A and B are shown apart, each in its own frame.
Chain A
Amino acid sequence: MIKSSYRLKQLIFRIIRIVILLFLAVLILAPILWMALSAFKERADISTYPPTFFPPKWTLFNIKEVFRLIPIAMYIKNSVMYTVVVTFFSLLFNSAAGYAFARLTFKGQNVLFTILMASMMIPFQVIMIPLFMEIFYMGLFDTLVGLVVPKFAAVIGIFFFRSFYFSLPKQLEEAGRIDGLTEFGIWLRIIVPLCKPALVTQAVLTLNSCWNDLLWPLLMTNNPENRMLPNGVLYFIGQDINDYGPTFAAGLISLVPILIIFLFGQKYFVSSIVNSGMKE
């Protein structure tokens, strides 16, 4: 008797939970889906009254326009390369630094961390000109090194990893040291595997910020052949008139690769939790 009322309560709770989550999903999806569907509308159907959700007449015109007018394949290639390189190194450097700040004690720990934190507090637009001049005088302007290396470390990433490593049990390193692992080995063999969810989360965050990074690649490269996707997406937004159809189409095209990566990441995210033994 008690058990069945408990079940009923659980069932109601579950239904409420699902309803709330679905409602939120609709709220999030509506404008994005509308944008995606508008990419398949004719110009006159994007702005019309009463507004429509589904295209009254489907067309691939906007998608074709994007491929016709901008070298989007080249943009995607550049963006993928930039994103992959930066994500790989920033995960490596940030997680290593985060590990040190969370799990090791050393002289000047708080001072160094405060210095790092301080550098988060100024908007990029302000340091943009001095930073550019610095890179210019270093001779790195319009080079691959100048483009990617400054992005290899981000304080927010260090901070993020620090928070995650912090909640792991303290005995882990002791066990590693007893096993004769080096400090580097402890980090790589014991800590990193335990933090796969954190790594995947941070990877998605970094991927996404690189993928949508408009200003930095534009500032650091001079050759139009080195331009990346965000620049292409904005191509159809004019000074006086916007070409909404192709803009939405380009937005949609740029969304697809990162979406695939993300869905893949989610899968990995799940399996890594199952395998890591955290849930046992």
Chain B
Amino acid sequence: MNKIRKIGAYWNKPQHAAYLFIAPAFLIVVLFTIVPLLMSFYVSLTNVTTYLADGKFIGLKNFKRLFEDEYFLNSWKVTVLFTIFDVPISIGFALFVAALCNNESKFNSLMRSIYILPIICSSTVLGLTWELYLDPQIGLGNYILQSFGLPKFSIFTDISLAIYGIIFISIWRGFGMTAMILVAAMQGVSTSLYEAAELDGANAWHKFWHVTIPGISSTLWFVFITRVIGSFQVFDLVYVITGGGPAHSTETVVSYIYDKAFTHSYKLGYSSAAAECLFVVILLCTIFLYGRMLVGEKKGGVDR
């Protein structure tokens, strides 16, 4: 009896209870993400096919081949371009929208519901819709733009425009979700802070910059880091709308990986090697951002 109580007391200490809190989630992640991830490290050193037949250990040969492949380097250019545009624009935009409609009113709540709509739709149906909507010949969107005097353009089949078309749709689809997360965070900022700021004579801009932003800094970091990771892994819109074309101009790293493992060849080893490169790059980015985040959170945690 005493022993049970002792065990209970042991696990009720915050520093021990923490392990119980994380155990279920951590075990599942380890089992179903980390283990396959480690397996894919090993796979990247073999020439195994997607069907897991006839694999031989070939060392770093896959990596050597990768860096000789101009399409792999090209896919990095495309991905970085995508990230550079997508991340700041979509987050800046979401922050702007969140600031405009974070107060509770029927109108704001309706607007937020509308902004979230694109993420609820399946990306395949969205892709089809946009393709038809912006069709240069019969697309309604293109028709409206033309009636405003814009020239006829075929955004998804033009080699210099296609990637920007994908970026546009990605932002169009994602900013509402980001805005919703930011609104939820803004609603969590204690009103007493605003009142205090008001007493100090702060205007709306000051309040936003000095109370809201620090108050939601940890959520902003969350949004920023996940969006960066998401951008580096952009795939589904590309796959549905352009399939990487025209002439590799929208082929992102994950499109390249997918292509090598499932579409044009079945080289799981080779495509895992490409994925490992992606992994390392995202990991370095995230470690850098995460470090910044910890510092930022310490500063930003206002009333702690």
Contact = CB atoms under 8 A, between A and B. Distances in A.
A and B touch in the complex (CB under 8 A): yes
B53 to A, nearest CB: 12
Given A120-B229, A126-B261, A127-B37, A251 B122 contact: yes
A29 B279 CA distance: 36
B189 A167 contact: yes
A187 B119 CA distance: 31
Contact of B125 (A29, A118, A164, A248): A248
A31 B133 contact: yes
A121 B37 CA distance: 10
Contact of B26 (A52, A116, A258): A116
Interface in A220-276: 230, 233-234, 237, 242, 244, 247-248, 250-251, 254-255, 258-259, 262-263, 266, 269-270, 273-274
Given A119-B37, A122-B278, A198 B120 contact: no
A125 interface: yes
Contacts of A101: 22
Interface stretch (B81-89, B106-114, B149-157, B243-251): B106-114
B274 to A, nearest CB: 8
Contacts of B286: 117, 121
B14 to A, nearest CB: 5
A126 B132 contact: no
A177 B28 CA distance: 30
A262 B236 CA distance: 23
A214 B185 contact: no
Given A31-B141, A126-B40, A149 B28 contact: yes
Contacts of A125: 235, 254, 257-258, 261-262
Contact of B118 (A32, A112, A233): A32
A74 interface: no
A76 interface: no
B40 A130 contact: yes
B130 interface: yes
B140 A51 contact: yes
B36 A155 contact: no
Interface string A5-35: 0000000000001101110110111111011
Interface residues of A, number: 114
Contacts of A269: 184
Interface string A156-190: 10111011101111100100000000111001000
Contacts of B221: 163
Nearest to B130: A31
Interface of B: 12-22, 24-26, 28-37, 39-40, 43, 50, 52, 97, 100-101, 104, 107-109, 111-126, 128-130, 132-133, 137-141, 143, 172, 176-177, 180-181, 184-185, 187-191, 215-219, 221-222, 225-226, 229, 232-233, 235, 254, 257-258, 261-262, 268, 271-272, 275, 278-279, 282-283, 286-287, 290, 297, 301, 303-304
Given A47-B132, A134-B36, 12 more contacts: A93-B28, A123-B275, A125-B235, A126-B257, A126-B261, A126-B272, A127-B40, A129-B261, A167-B219, A169-B304, A233-B124, A274-B104
20 contacts: A18-B107, A30-B141, A50-B143, A100-B17, A104-B21, A105-B14, A106-B14, A114-B290, A115-B30, A118-B279, A119-B34, A127-B36, A130-B35, A131-B32, A131-B33, A152-B28, A167-B218, A184-B17, A212-B120, A255-B121
